[in-house]
Amino acid sequence: MIDPKTIGEVIYTREDIKKRVEELGKQISEEYAGKEIILVCILKGSFAFTADLAREIDIPCSIEFMQVSSYSNGTTTSGSLKIIKDINVPVDGKHLLIIEDIIDTGITLNNLKKMFDTRNPASVKLCAFLDKPSRRQAPIEADYVGFTVEDNFLVGYGLDYAQHFRNLPYIAILKEEYYK
């Protein structure tokens, strides 16, 4: 049940999400055919997307979990990456697909990509369920994107506001009066 006091327009329904995730899983399976990949789920936001996407991928894959936070120092767009929980497998020579719920400024994914590049993987690609290009500060683009969105604060399907709403099965706009 949508709470009309907090949740505004639903921009992607459960059905929209299912269809798009199926398409992404098919595309990824085709493009990595004959290879094995490690899906790197970036906690917490991408737990739902990773779980659904993994089940639409039909090539051999393993799933690892990582939690990070990015700080911008205010003067550059690079910020710095704090690893809260690292993956615990070596990745040299492996194909990595980093899975994010959303790219906003791009600082998190840009730093993650740079960090994984230093670990000598065979390849690193990026998959984001949502992309907000209008907010970009760091020079990064995902290889696979579910939906490109406008600059609204979104919740649901893993995305939170103050740790709430991650469990909503749809993506909705959080009403401005709720967080301003």
Residue 151 designated active-site: no
Residue 40, CA atoms < 13 Å, CB-side half-sphere: 24
Q: Is 40 in the site for ligand HPA (CB under 6 A)?
A: no
Chain-centroid distance of CA 97 in Å reads 11
In the bound complex, what is the minimum distance in angstroms from residue 23's beta carbon to ligand PRP?
Answer: 22
Residues numbered 94-113 forming contacts with ligand HPA, rule: CB under 6 A: 102, 104
**Sequence-ordered list of residues with C-beta below 8 angstroms from that of 96, at least 6 positions apart, any chain:** 37, 38, 40, 116, 121, 123, 124, 125
Q: Are 172 and 155 in contact (CB under 8 A)?
A: yes
- Cα–Cα distance measured from residue 129 to residue 113, given in angstroms and rounded to the nearest whole number: 17
Q: Is 153 in the site for ligand HPA (CB under 6 A)?
A: yes
In the bound complex, what is the minimum distance in angstroms from residue 54's beta carbon to ligand PRP?
Answer: 17
Residue whose entry in the numeric block shows the structure tokens 């798009």:
20
> Which of 52, 101, 104, 131 is the catalytic position?
104
Q: Report residue 126 as tokens.
A: 């990026």
In the bound complex, what is the minimum distance in angstroms from residue 42's beta carbon to ligand HPA?
Answer: 11
Return the number of the residue (22 or 160) whose C-beta is nearest ligand HPA: 160
Return the number of the residue (16 or 22) whose C-beta is nearest ligand HPA: 16
- Cα–Cα distance measured from residue 169 to residue 159, given in angstroms and rounded to the nearest whole number: 10
Return the number of the residue (57 or 112) whose C-beta is nearest ligand PRP: 112
In the bound complex, what is the minimum distance in angstroms from residue 166's beta carbon to ligand PRP?
Answer: 8
Residue 154 contact partner, candidates ligand PRP, ligand HPA, none, CB within 5 to 8 A by sort of partner: ligand HPA
- CA distances to 19, 118, 142 from 161, rounded to whole Å, are 25, 32, 23
Return the number of the residue (59 or 68) whose C-beta is nearest ligand PRP: 68
- Judged by CB under 6 A, how many residues of this single chain contact ligand HPA? 7
Residues in contact with ligand PRP by CB under 6 A are 42-45, 69-70, 100-108, 160
